[in-house]
Amino acid sequence: MEEISGHPRGPERHPPVGPSRQRRASLLDPRSAAGQVLLLQVVIVVLLVVAAAVGMVLQAARDALQQGRRESVVAAQSFAAAPGVAAALQSRDPTAVLQPRAEAARKRAGVDFVVVMSTEGIRYTYPYTREIGKKFVGTIAPALAGRTVVEQAGGPPLPAGKGTAVQAVVPVTDSHGKVVGLVSAGITVRNVAGLWMPQLPIILGSGAAALALGVTGSTLVSRRLRRQTHGMAPEELAQLYEHHDAVLHAVREGVLITGADGRLMLANDEAAQLLGLPADAQGRPVRELGLPESILCVLTSPETVTDEVHLAGHRSLAVNKRPTYPQADRGGCVVTLRDTTELAAVTGRAEVARERLKLLYEAGVEIGTTLDVERTAQELADVAVPQFADLVTVDLLEAVLRGWEPTAEGWRHLRRTAIGGEQRMMPVYPLGEVITFARRTPQMRALQERLVVLEPDLRQAPGWREQDPERAGRALECGLRSLMAVPLRARNVPLGVANFYRTVDSPPFEPDDLTFADELAARAAVAIDNARRFTREHAMAVTLQRSLLPRRQPEQDALEVAWRYLPAEAGVGGDWFDVIPLPGARVALVMGDVVGHGLHAAATMGRLRTAVHNFSTLDLPVDEVLGNLDDLVVRMDNEENAGDAAEGREGEGVTGATCLYAVYDPVAQACTLARAGHPEPVVVRPDGTVTSPGVPTSAPLGLGGYPFETVELSLPEGSQLVLYTNGLVEDRAHGMDVGLDRLRRALDGSGDCTPEETCQAVIDALKPSPACDDIALLTARTRRFPPSRVAEWEVPPDPALVPEVRARCRETLLEWGLEETGFATELIVSELVTNAIRYGSPPVGLRLLHGRCLICEVSDGSGTSPRLRRAATTDEGGRGLFLVAQFAQRWGTRYTTHGKVIWAEQILHDGDTAASGLAPVDFLLDQFDDPGL
């Protein structure tokens, strides 16, 4: 014999089929009188229900057919008379207009189809679009004559079923009464038959009620008997009791049953174990059993209880209570007890794990939103407080903040970068302070050992206290109790330490917290390292770009210049500008923008700026400078793409650039401009009027093969020419048109401002925050070369007149107070004029300009340029240009539309030149007058 919960249980037996079971089954036995009477009543009721249903179906079918005819006619006529149907039938594509309207009308009218067709019966609409364009199935001749046709006919499959039962065809007429099309609407047999379906439940319900009344009379006696014995024989009742008793004592849930008088009627083994009940507890009042007060209140109160947790000793019990007879006044209740002590512990751990996962997810979203090292460190501190710690500090190595690669030599010196949590009452190191940690501190141990260091009780942490005993004592008085120092490492490189603190109001850190803190710090370290590397690259790019941009203003007489350059916050671009003095007191202004950002763009900008300097040195026209620059960009692009393709990085090369090139002549007060895809400059007149000069737009650099158009402007003295890149007038918030309007408003009325003031006013008004692109701004205020310092003559093409020209130069130099420069100037003039007469073409002209330097220009109509060479000892000539190069600071040739100009510059140093003290003057000049030389 097997025992379950201390109670014997015999072998399992099936209940015998006794007299009670036979009585209970007599109603279902057709051989018994009760069974036969019941069967007869069922047959009669079924026949009546079938007869009523057939009659109803026939009547409903006739009514439904009539109703279907009416509905189909009404739907067809309503759609045919709808506004716009006749016009749509006469349009070029009736289906496009009528198909959606027909489907909408079909759904609103409740019919199965609305078909619009032509007078030939070709469908324009249909529920299935594949049937559009096919022949309509039905009679349309009467409808073409203006009558309405109602018929039964089949057709293609429809959403409601197979075949059409009822359909109506009506004509569509235009304003003149002419039939221009047909409309058909119909209802399938399936939908029509559905009209009698609501009546069927009434018939079935009536039959069921009649059947129930017949069965009731036959079962009254049988039910009364079963109520007395519960339908079971004595043997069955005994066996059922044994089964219930075995189950009651085998379940792992305590069960208590109390009576109306408050006595314990039954308690299973699990309840006795959970509550510690005595052996004689059954039958005794519950108040005498020594139960915990909370459990006793539940047993004696009349209220029901659902999953209330009560303590019974060291156990947490989930209690449920229900009355034994909810519908009667017998009293008593059933109480179930379930031990949830282990479940509560597991649930608590699961809840902690869920909160940790949630915090890690928040850290992944909120840490690293920017590429700023300090901001990323602060995001780590903000995420961890207060979900994980009460106070968080982040200390980073100085090299990390500067973007450098950290080294072990600088580990002891860390800067307090971020603080999160309530710090006003905590005496911790402030932000920005450089901290030198001792070797025994948790922070230094974490860095050196590359592990998380836990100090569960800071009062027992001598290494932490000896770092700053006074500050540590005040921190402990303020309630600081627990610390975890977590190293911040990325790519096996130390970055700093994150310190997580808890106060006395929170539980101290435990070993289980180490893994989570390490994971949180690892995620933050990756973001900090990304920001550090970006900081390094950004600093390198900014340094490179600033080293390539002008550092000071060149000496020149034509313009008063000021500029601003603001690099983008997200990355350095390729914006550049330049001021290049040219021969003849002219000045070239350059403003360009390379596509892209970073070191590549900055390096490309440096190459283009150098190229512009070289092309300017050749004194090429404005359009030719841009043309040569375009060719250079194309070659650079091809080289970069070829190199990248070899390394599997095709498409990362130079893709283009924009540039604006302008040359201002202070003598003529004229400015020649051309732009390659660059924003148009703005001119501020001396009276403060802001205008756009209308410089034609040409293709950006790098496309190749496109000519560049130029325009020449007349700029009075005091005019300001404003050049800029698109970062000044264009950002994500607004387009370039809005930015140009803002620029004009900022410049309006600034005619009397200095270029420095104008630059600052424009930056204050238009600088975006944050700056998504580089901003370059150049403001140049024009000056007029004084006419009194310009001397110009036309030279007849006769070498014998060279001494006369030289004499006029001498007189002019005396007027300007430059008699000390007379020898060198006369020597230069003699050589250049003689060469122009001898080898050039008329007209020959001479011009002297007295500014920061003395400029001598000789022009002629020839396109040939002289070349400097070393003459042999046997040569009779060829030494003139050599002497010019020796006496002049610079010399060269520039070509004009009418020929060329040979120029030479002499630097003036307080009236002295490089030719001072040279002799004999007259002898050398006489030799230059000799035609044989």
Q: How confident is the model at residue 197 (pLDDT cuts 50, 70, 90)?
A: low
pLDDT tens digit string along 24-80? Answer: 455 555 654 455 666 777 777 787 777 777 777 777 767 767 777 888 888 888 888
Closest to 137 measured CA to CA, from 109, 169, 112: 169
Q: What is the pTM of this model?
A: 0.52
**Residue 931: what pLDDT?**
43
Peptide bond between residue 843 and the one before it cis (omega within 30 degrees of 0)? yes
Position 675 pLDDT exceeds 90? yes
**Residue 649: what pLDDT?**
44
**Residue 917: what pLDDT?**
41
Position 120 pLDDT exceeds 50? yes
CA distance 647 to 651: 11
Q: How confident is the model at residue 220 (pLDDT cuts 50, 70, 90)?
A: low
Q: How confident is the model at residue 683 (pLDDT cuts 50, 70, 90)?
A: very high
Q: Lowest-confidence range among 157-171, 457-471, 893-907? A: 157-171
Position 436 pLDDT exceeds 90? no
CA distance 452 to 447: 9
CA distance 728 to 915: 49
* Overall average pLDDT of the 420-432 stretch: 76
Q: DSSP H helical segments within 367-423, as ranges?
A: 373-384, 398-402
CA distance 99 to 123: 10
**Residue 715: what pLDDT?**
92
CA distance 569 to 152: 78
**Residue 930: what pLDDT?**
45
Q: Going by C-beta distance under 8 Å and a sequence separation of 6 or more, which residues neighbour residue 668?
A: none
Closest to 605 measured CA to CA, from 561, 565, 646, 556: 565
Percent of the chain with pLDDT over 90: 11
Q: Lowest-confidence range among 285-299, 474-488, 695-709, 736-750? A: 285-299
Other residues' Cβ atoms within 10 Å of the Cβ of residue 144: 16
| 3-class SS of residue 730 | coil
Position 6 pLDDT exceeds 50? no
**Residue 801: what pLDDT?**
84
Query: What dihedral angle (degrees, nearest 10) is formed by the CA atoms of 780, 781, 787, 792?
Result: 20
Q: Going by C-beta distance under 8 Å and a sequence separation of 6 or more, which residues neighbour residue 60?
A: 193, 195, 196, 199
Q: How many residues does the chain have?
A: 933
Q: How confident is the model at residue 723 (pLDDT cuts 50, 70, 90)?
A: very high
* Overall average pLDDT of the 219-223 stretch: 61
Position 185 pLDDT exceeds 50? yes
**Residue 13: what pLDDT?**
41
Q: Taking a C-beta distance cutoff of 8 angstroms, is the pair 297, 262 a contact? A: no
CA atoms within 13 A on the CB side of 113: 35
* 555 vs 546: which has the higher pLDDT: 555
Consecutive H or E run containing 875: none
Q: Lowest-confidence range among 399-408, 685-694, 703-712, 853-862? A: 399-408
* 29 vs 645: which has the higher pLDDT: 29
**Residue 722: what pLDDT?**
94
CA atoms within 13 A on the CB side of 118: 13
Burial of 885 (0-12, 13-18, 19+ CB in 10 A): middle
Position 853 pLDDT exceeds 80? yes
What is the DSSP track for 25-49? HGGG-TTSHHHHHHHHHHHHHHHHH
Position 178 pLDDT exceeds 60? yes
**Residue 322: what pLDDT?**
81
Q: Taking a C-beta distance cutoff of 8 angstroms, is the pair 870, 804 a contact? A: no
Position 100 pLDDT exceeds 70? yes
Q: Name all contacts of 756-759 with Cβ < 8 Å and 24+ positions apart.
A: 756/562, 758/562, 758/684, 758/720, 758/722, 759/562, 759/563, 759/564
Q: How confident is the model at residue 155 (pLDDT cuts 50, 70, 90)?
A: low
**Residue 256: what pLDDT?**
81
**Residue 932: what pLDDT?**
40
Other residues' Cβ atoms within 10 Å of the Cβ of residue 59: 12
Beta strands 697-698 and 690-691 are unpaired
Beta strands 775-782 and 2-4 are unpaired
Quick one: tokens of 323?
A: 């009355």
Quick one: tokens of 554?
A: 């060149």
Closest to 366 measured CA to CA, from 396, 387, 391, 352: 387
**Residue 781: what pLDDT?**
94
pLDDT tens digit string along 460-514? Answer: 888 888 888 888 888 888 888 899 999 998 888 888 899 999 888 888 888 878 8
| 3-class SS of residue 510 | coil
* Overall average pLDDT of the 588-592 stretch: 93
- pLDDT averaged over the chain? 78
Q: Taking a C-beta distance cutoff of 8 angstroms, is the pair 729, 742 a contact? A: yes
**Residue 919: what pLDDT?**
40
Position 811 pLDDT exceeds 60? yes
**Residue 911: what pLDDT?**
42
Peptide bond between residue 583 and the one before it cis (omega within 30 degrees of 0)? no
Name the DSSP class of 165.
S
Position 784 pLDDT exceeds 80? yes
Name the DSSP class of 812.
H
Position 727 pLDDT exceeds 80? yes
Place of tokens 């027992």: 460
Q: Lowest-confidence range among 321-330, 365-374, 476-485, 638-647? A: 638-647
Q: What is the CA radius of gyration of the chain?
A: 52
* Overall average pLDDT of the 704-716 stretch: 88
Q: In the chain, count of helices (H) and strands (E)? A: 26, 33
* Overall average pLDDT of the 899-913 stretch: 74
Q: How confident is the model at residue 234 (pLDDT cuts 50, 70, 90)?
A: low
CA atoms within 13 A on the CB side of 780: 32
* Overall average pLDDT of the 753-758 stretch: 91
Other residues' Cβ atoms within 10 Å of the Cβ of residue 92: 6
